[in-house]
Amino acid sequence: MSFGRLPGPRGARPFHEINVTPLVDIFLVLLVVFVVSAPLMAQRLALALPQAEAPAAAPAVARQVATVEFDAQGRLRLDGEALDEPVLRGRLQALATAQPDTELLLRVDERVPYGRVVALIGAAQAAGLSRIGFVAEPAR
CA 112, distance to chain mean position in Å, is 21
Residues 6+ apart with CB under 8 A from 91: 78, 83
Provide the pLDDT for residue 29: 95
The answer on pLDDT for 72 being more than 90 is no
The answer on pLDDT for 30 being more than 90 is yes
- The Cα–Cα gap between 90 and 106 comes to 17
Residue 118: φ, ψ to 5°: -65, -40
| pLDDT tens, position by position, 92-124 | 899 888 888 888 888 888 888 888 889 989 988
Are the beta carbons of 67 and 105 closer than 8 angstroms? Answer: yes
pTM over 0.75: no
| pLDDT tens, position by position, 127-136 | 888 888 888 7
Provide the pLDDT for residue 31: 95
Q: Please tell us whether the domain made up of 63-138 is placed in CATH 3.40.50.300.
A: no
**Three-state helix/strand/coil letters over the chain:** CCCCCCCCCCCCCCCCCCCCHHHHHHHHHHHHHHHHHHHHHHCCCCCCCCEECCCCCCCCCCCCEEEEEECCCCCEEECCEEECHHHHHHHHHHHHHHCCCCEEEEEECCCCCHHHHHHHHHHHHHHCCCEEEECCEECC
Per the model's pLDDT, the better-predicted residue between 38 and 1 turns out to be 38
pLDDT bucket at 47, cuts 50 / 70 / 90: very low
